[in-house]
């Protein structure tokens, strides 16, 4: 059995019953042809052998890496990116060669750059300017491999003082401060947008020209589709009608075992 090719499993949040290094194979065994992931290392500059191991894991599993995060700090401890942090720019810059190497060896071309949380040590304007510079620099780095930087609004109240909570804020950045950068686009995450009170169908219709990647999780709860109230079939039909031909990342928290959570996925035909 294989799922439709456009669906990819997020290895950082699915298959958590097993160690990370076994998840690509588990995803392939379950029916996924593609995967995505957060930054898969604890440090911005991992050891070469850790990168080699990740690449072997993907190759042996026979899955394609479609999207991954830039270094985002310690996500488990509550960090949500470092792009806006003046004190962490060196970490972000130093992590990019590893990201580029993974991209070159896997043909991954979508890279989510989490903005970062507000910190009272700096003004909001200083943090915004730091983030804009970091985003533009990251976009310049991945443009050499035809890559795209993704920016994502997150759910308010669940991600610290993360200032981007709507698709419109991302679009404002793209059309104003980043207007001269042509490879930065919107990551459309159904859970985060719905949690902030937005109608996902209306958002899809309004922001479709800016959407480069979609991640699926239900709301409330962030479980697999069918555990909340979001209209996923109508949403995907709307995106298709508006010309979205990209990946659909399964980035949800498990309400059951990973295998049992996959029953909603469409099976590939032909």
pLDDT at 270: 62
| pLDDT per position as a tens digit, 145-180 | 999 999 999 999 999 999 999 999 999 999 999 999
- State the pLDDT confidence band at 1, using cuts at 50, 70 and 90: confident
**For residues 270 and 257, what is the distance between their CA atoms, to the nearest angstrom?**
28
Burial annotation 75-110 (CB, 10 A radius, 16+ → b, else e): eeeebbbbbbbbebbeebeebbebbbebbeebebbb
Which residues are registered as beta bridge partners of 186? Answer: 151, 211
| pLDDT per position as a tens digit, 69-99 | 999 999 999 999 999 999 999 999 999 999 9
| pLDDT per position as a tens digit, 125-141 | 999 999 999 999 999 99
Percent of all residues in the chain with a pLDDT value above 70, rounded to a whole number: 100
Smallest CA-to-CA distance from 169 within 124, 215, 139, 111 is with: 124
**For residues 71 and 252, what is the distance between their CA atoms, to the nearest angstrom?**
20
Smallest CA-to-CA distance from 178 within 132, 224, 137 is with: 132
> Residue 115 CA to chain centroid, in angstroms?
12
**For residues 36 and 10, what is the distance between their CA atoms, to the nearest angstrom?**
5
- CB within 8 A of 130, min separation 6: which ones? 83, 84, 85, 86, 89, 122
pLDDT at 269: 77
pLDDT at 70: 98
| pLDDT per position as a tens digit, 184-196 | 999 999 999 999 9
Q: Is the peptide bond before 220 cis (omega within 30 degrees of 0)?
A: yes
Smallest CA-to-CA distance from 74 within 47, 43, 111, 115 is with: 43
CATH code for residues 7-261: 3.20.20.150
For the beta carbon of residue 128, count every other beta carbon within 10 angstroms: 17
DSSP for 116-178?
----TTS-HHHHHHHHHHHHHHHHHHHHTTT-EEEE----TTTSSS----SHHHHHHHHHTTT
- Hey, what are 3's tokens? 């799922």
pLDDT surpasses 80 at 15: yes
The residue among 138 and 269 whose pLDDT is bigger is 138
pLDDT at 19: 98
| pLDDT per position as a tens digit, 23-57 | 999 999 999 999 999 999 999 999 999 999 999 99
> Residue 165 CA to chain centroid, in angstroms?
15
Widest Cα–Cα separation across the chain: 57
The model's pTM is: 0.97
Mean pLDDT for the stretch of residues 113-128 = 98
Residues designated catalytic: 152, 251
| pLDDT per position as a tens digit, 201-258 | 999 999 999 999 999 999 999 999 999 999 999 999 999 999 999 999 999 999 999 9
Q: Residue 93 belongs to what H/E stretch?
A: helix 89-106
Mean pLDDT for the stretch of residues 102-109 = 97
Residue 63 main-chain phi, psi, to 5 deg = -110, 155
């Amino acid at each position: 059995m294989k799922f439709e090719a456009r669906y990819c499993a997020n290895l950082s949040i699915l298959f958590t019953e097993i160690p990370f290094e076994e998840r690509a194979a588990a995803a392939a065994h379950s029916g996924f042809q593609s995967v995505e992931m957060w930054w898969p290392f604890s440090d911005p500059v991992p050891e070469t052998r850790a990168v080699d191991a990740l690449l072997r894991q993907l190759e042996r599993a026979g899955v394609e890496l479609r999207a991954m995060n830039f270094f985002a700090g310690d996500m488990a401890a509550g960090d949500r990116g470092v792009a806006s942090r003046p004190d962490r720019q060196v970490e972000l810059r130093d992590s990019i060669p590893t990201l580029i190497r993974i991209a070159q060896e896997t043909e991954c071309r979508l890279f989510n750059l989490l903005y970062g949380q507000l910190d009272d040590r700096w003004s909001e304007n200083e943090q915004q300017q730091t983030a804009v510079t970091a985003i533009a620099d990251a976009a310049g780095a991945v443009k050499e491999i035809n890559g795209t930087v993704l920016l994502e609004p997150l759910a308010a109240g669940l991600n610290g003082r993360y200032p981007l909570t709507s698709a419109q804020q991302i679009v404002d950045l793209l059309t104003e401060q980043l207007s001269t950068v042509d490879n930065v686009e919107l990551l459309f995450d159904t859970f985060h947008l719905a949690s902030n009170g937005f109608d996902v169908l209306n958002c899809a219709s309004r922001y479709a020209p800016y959407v480069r990647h979609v991640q699926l999780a239900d709301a409330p709860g962030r479980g697999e589709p069918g555990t909340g109230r979001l209209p996923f079939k109508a949403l995907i039909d709307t995106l298709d009608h508006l010309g979205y031909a990209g990946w659909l990342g399964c980035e949800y928290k498990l309400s059951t075992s990973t295998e049992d959570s996959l029953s909603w996925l469409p099976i590939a035909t032909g």
